[in-house]
Amino acid sequence: MTIYANALDLIGDTPLVDVSSLSPKASVRILAKLEGQNPGGSVKDRVARAMVEEAEKDGTLSPGSVILEPSSGNTGIGLAMVCRVKGYRLKVVMPANVSEERRQLLGIWGAEIIDSPAAEGSNGAVRLAQRLVAEHPEYVFLYQYGNPANPGAHYEGTGPEIWRDCPEVTHFVAGLGTSGTLVGVGRFLKERNPAVEVWAIEPPAGELVDGLRNLDDGYIPPVFLDGGGPELLDRKTVIGPRDSIEWARRLLDVGIFAGISSGAAMAGAVRCARTVDQGVIVTVLPDGGWKYLSTGAWSGDLGEAAERARQTVYF
Amino acid sequence: MPVEVRLPTVLRAAAAGQASVKAQGATIGEVLGDLTSTYPEMAGQVLAPDGGLHRFVNVYVNDDDVRYLDKLDTKVGEDDVVSILPAVAGG
């Protein structure tokens, strides 16, 4: 057994598990990368550590620095863990309607939460964070949506891990939030094999963006545009809360307790499998199910659970 | 051939509050052209000055973003549902 010097060294090198028994076709394998195995509980641990260490290297961060970051949850939690270990203060700007567990976890790690309007979703959190940083130039703004260390963590970590474990990969399917995973892994895999198809899965914008005043309040993360996202993606498809929850429940059949966005990724992998005759689909399951217990996603009627999920930011 | 077009909240005012309208066309370009001629207030919000899609707008046929299909040339049929949505962030 390896003895790790520090819990942060546990970030990455997550397991890839064959979940092909859930594939609609015997000729199409589906492999799931379990990012919930990271020490802070999600794929965003990779991004949090990469952004902080990059900022330490270039001198943006120094002892006693205060970091401010917009996040619907997982990046905030990952940063809170990294900041706790490294001794930085953290303020997280978060939509008021994220799951209760996300708020609790941020508190446990010692981060301060600043609420942004629920009706404006993640876009509103980004806008409020940008305003606060303009008012407080002393805050360090790592800005996951525009920080090349975000896709960089996946280009240097997640992508090579997938290629090492499964060079037969034909399709890569992942959720689209900041686009860091898709841009970083997608670029790495296409450089190795240009025939690999990259599929982005997104939740329906639906009610969560009703607070937008006009479409100019829309938002495209700079890491997506700067990373060549529009050219990198082969398909972008919406998976709703009902399918997301159904597939989060079905993942239990293969021993995986994963979050709602993982259900969406799995549903996307299954949709992808239906369109091909044969292949090996790799998908990323961003986190475990623990943070979503209070949403009731696993209990009772699927339709009612989906309706509850519509009120919560889970991506 | 009429196609159902679902509108985001921010565009409904331009269509007398309707959440869903019918528009004619065999491609996304034709459907959006018909939509914006019926509801001219939407034109600047949905289409860019060069006639392409506005950058903060995503248009879907059923569940697929047309930018990764055939863009404005993406074909639509009577049973398809076209949805217009603002671009949003996650993370």
How is residue A197 written in tokens?
Answer: 């198809």
Which CATH architecture best describes the domain A44-141? 3-Layer(aba) Sandwich (3.40)
Low-confidence ranges of chain A (pLDDT < 70): 205-218, 313-315
Give the whole-angstrom CA distance, residue A164 versus residue A114: 40
Helix residue spans in chain A (DSSP H) = 44-57, 74-86, 100-109, 121-135, 149-153, 159-165, 180-192, 222-226, 229-232, 241-250, 260-275, 302-310
Where does the pLDDT of residue B1 fall: very low under 50, low under 70, confident under 90, or very high at 90 and above? confident
Tokens 């309007």, residue located: A117
> What pLDDT, on the 0 to 100 scale, is given for residue A139?
98
Q: In chain A, which residues fall in CATH 3.40.50.1100?
A: 7-37+158-310, 44-141
Q: Do A124 and A116 contact (CB within 8 A), yes or no? A: yes
Q: Give the closest of B45, B55, B90 to A72, CB-based.
A: B90
Whole-complex ipTM:
0.88
Q: Which residues of A touch B (CB under 8 A)?
A: 44, 71-72, 74-75, 121-123, 126, 144-145, 175-178, 180, 200, 202-205, 208-210, 212-221, 230, 233-239, 315
> What pLDDT, on the 0 to 100 scale, is given for residue A103?
93
> What pLDDT, on the 0 to 100 scale, is given for residue A312?
72
A274 Rama class: left (phi>0) / alpha (psi -120 to 50) / beta: alpha
Cβ-based contacts of A205 with chain B (< 8 Å): 8, 58, 85-86, 88
**Residues of A annotated catalytic, as ranges:** 44, 261
Sheet (strand A66-70) strand order: A112-116, A89-95, A66-70, A140-141
Summarised one tens digit per residue, pLDDT across range A223-252 is 999 999 999 999 999 999 999 999 999 999
Give the whole-angstrom CA distance, residue A164 versus residue A252: 26
Give the whole-angstrom CA distance, residue A273 versus residue A25: 7
Query: What Å distances lie between residue A288 and A154, A258, B58, CA to CA?
Result: 19, 4, 29
Query: What Å distances lie between residue A222 and A116, A154, A228, A231, B91, CA to CA?
Result: 21, 16, 10, 14, 13
Which CATH architecture best describes the domain B2-86? Roll (3.10)
> What pLDDT, on the 0 to 100 scale, is given for residue A207?
46
* Residue A186 neighbours by CB under 8 Å, 6+ apart: A172, A198, A232, A233
Identify the CATH assignment for A7-37+158-310 out of 3.30.360.10, 1.20.1090.10, 3.40.50.1100, 3.40.470.10. 3.40.50.1100
Q: What is the mean pLDDT of chain B?
A: 91
Summarised one tens digit per residue, pLDDT across range A39-48 is 999 999 999 9
